[in-house]
Amino acid sequence: MKIQFLGAARTVTGSCHMIETGAARFCIDCGMHQGNRAIEERNRDLTPYRPKAVDFVILTHAHMDHAGLLPALAANGFSGPVYCTSATADLLGVMLEDSAHIQEV
């Protein structure tokens, strides 16, 4: 098993833990990086995420710093399921539209 910390390390935003096993490669959270310009640049470089190779995403909750990078992940090839509670799914509809708008700007 391999665990890679792609966010929330040396900063409090962009929570993403990439887990690789013999059977799957998945994220626990996929958050947007927020802060200064250098931190926010991480939102544009999805190379470490390898979106096409992500099998699924598990979301702990619907905050931007835990789920806000999902639109970018999907736009770059992620097509797997997202697992979360029904309450989180309800909030994601509103939150992810806002996240997509922020990323476009």
pTM above 0.85, yes or no: yes
- C-alpha span between 57 and 92 (Å, rounded): 13
Residue 103: the pLDDT is: 65
Q: Which residues pair with 25 in a beta bridge?
A: 20
Q: Which domain holds residue 30?
A: 2-104
DSSP conformational letter for 48: T
Residue 67: the pLDDT is: 93
CATH code of the domain in which 42 resides: 3.60.15.10
Residue 23: the pLDDT is: 97
User: Which residues have C-beta within 8 Å of that of residue 18, sequence separation ≥ 6?
Assistant: 3, 4, 5, 6, 25, 26, 27, 48, 49, 54
Residue 15: the pLDDT is: 92
pLDDT along the chain (105 residues), means of 10: 87 90 97 85 89 97 91 94 95 80 70
If one counts the domains in the chain, the total is: 1
Rg of the Cα atoms in the chain: 13
Residue 81: the pLDDT is: 98
